């Protein structure tokens, strides 16, 4: 057992240093040196934990400090205070290259798992817990911004719009909570052929999308896909996953601070990022399930996806366009194959 050590003493009132002996006497610590002899209760002294090979400090209640390299003695004092087990274990870890590498690997693995699984899970919980009023504001503001930056009034004939409105209405009629959902038509050379869903139940279909999906079987698949996105809150979840700060605040407080500011980022997220493969699969599954239930052709939906992909491929050779990254159809061949196989299954 070590009962003392040599340290450099600072009285806390001047920069002068003195060499002293620090000695453990029962439950007290005595400091002795030139012109100094004082006794302090050990319980009142703060002792720095180990940090590599750096010198450590004993910090006394009157502001004085003692600087020493006597790690073994200080560790003994920490144990006498009932402390030091965790800091000692951490020090042994940091002094071991193998354990340091293992800790680094575990940290990287934890961060990866949190980003890959934790954030999507939190985003889902927040998206489904968001008040309806907040979701309505986000959807309305997003549509207003999109109208301002890249969409114009539709040129689809009124009769065709009415037909598609009736089709959309029939698709949501069996769910009372969807009664406020609505279908909007817009013209946009920048976005091109597309359909996408906004929070609060707004589905937007571009004029070019109506031209590509001419038959009701084809449009039913497109609309069912977007209804799938709405049902699973994909737009909100996608936005939350790409806005870590908003996600953390919403998780802790149960609401989104400054909904209008949050809504302003939605068009950017829609334009700059595609839905994940999992989101697209969920929406496709919803579309196939609806089409089979109602007796619509699943193959017609798959053919519409193929024409849509061909349309986007043709447009990629032209100058960059606003909708180039708004194409909510990544890995289209995989999606088409999956839809066709699902259509064949009983």
**Contact 240/127 with Cβ under 8 angstroms?**
yes
Domain boundary residue, one of 64, 94, 124: 94
Same domain membership, residue 271 and residue 167? yes
- Residues present in the chain in total: 346
**Average pLDDT estimate for 21-28:** 91
What tens digit of pLDDT does each residue of 46-101 get?
988 877 778 889 999 989 999 999 888 988 888 888 875 655 555 555 556 676 67
**Average pLDDT estimate for 155-160:** 95
> What is the residue range of 253's domain?
113-344
Q: How far apart are CA 240 and CA 120, in angstroms?
A: 8
Q: How far apart are CA 252 and CA 17, in angstroms?
A: 49
Residue bearing tokens 């719009």: 161
Is there a domain that residue 154 lies in? yes
Is there a domain that residue 255 lies in? yes
State the total domains in the chain. Answer: 2
What tens digit of pLDDT does each residue of 200-226 get?
899 999 999 999 988 888 999 999 999
Compare 150 and 299 and report the one with higher pLDDT: 299
Domain boundary residue, one of 94, 125, 152: 94
What tens digit of pLDDT does each residue of 256-281 get?
444 455 555 555 555 444 677 888 89
Q: What pLDDT score does 34 carry?
A: 85
Percent of the chain with pLDDT over 90: 33
Residue bearing tokens 């279908």: 183
Domain boundary residue, one of 66, 94, 122: 94
Using pLDDT thresholds of 50, 70 and 90, give the confidence band for residue 319: very low
């Amino acid at each position: 057992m070590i009962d003392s050590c040599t340290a450099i003493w600072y009285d806390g009132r001047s920069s002068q240093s003195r060499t002293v002996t620090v000695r453990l006497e029962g439950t007290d610590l005595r400091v002795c040196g030139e012109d100094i002899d004082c006794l302090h209760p050990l319980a009142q002294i703060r002792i720095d934990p180990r940090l590599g090979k750096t010198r450590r400090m004993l910090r006394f209640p009157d502001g004085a400090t003692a600087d020493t390299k006597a790690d073994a003695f200080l560790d003994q004092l920490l144990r006498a205070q009932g402390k030091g087990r965790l800091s000692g274990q951490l020090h042994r870890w940091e002094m071991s290259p193998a354990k340091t590498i293992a800790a680094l690997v575990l940290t990287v693995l934890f961060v990866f798992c949190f980003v890959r699984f934790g954030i999507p899970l939190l985003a889902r919980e927040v998206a489904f817990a968001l008040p309806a009023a907040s979701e309505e504001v986000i959807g309305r503001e997003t549509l207003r911004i999109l109208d301002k930056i890249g969409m114009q009034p539709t040129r689809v004939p009124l009769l065709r719009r009415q037909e598609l409105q009736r089709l959309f209405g029939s698709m949501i009629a069996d769910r009372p909570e969807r009664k406020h959902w609505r279908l909007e038509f817009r013209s946009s050379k920048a976005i091109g052929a597309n359909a996408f869903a906004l929070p609060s139940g707004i589905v937007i279909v571009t004029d070019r999308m109506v031209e590509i999906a001419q038959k009701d079987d084809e449009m039913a698949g497109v609309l069912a896909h977007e209804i799938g996105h709405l049902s699973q809150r994909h737009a909100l979840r996608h936005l939350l996953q790409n806005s870590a700060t908003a996600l953390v605040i919403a998780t802790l407080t149960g609401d989104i601070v400054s909904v209008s500011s949050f809504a302003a980022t939605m068009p950017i997220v829609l334009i700059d990022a595609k839905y994940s493969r999992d989101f697209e699969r969920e929406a496709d599954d919803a579309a196939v399930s609806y089409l089979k239930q109602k007796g619509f052709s699943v193959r017609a939906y798959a053919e519409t996806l193929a024409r849509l992909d061909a349309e986007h491929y043709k447009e990629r050779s032209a100058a960059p366009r606003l909708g180039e990254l708004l194409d909510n159809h990544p890995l289209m061949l995989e999606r088409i194959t999956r839809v066709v196989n699902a259509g064949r299954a009983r």
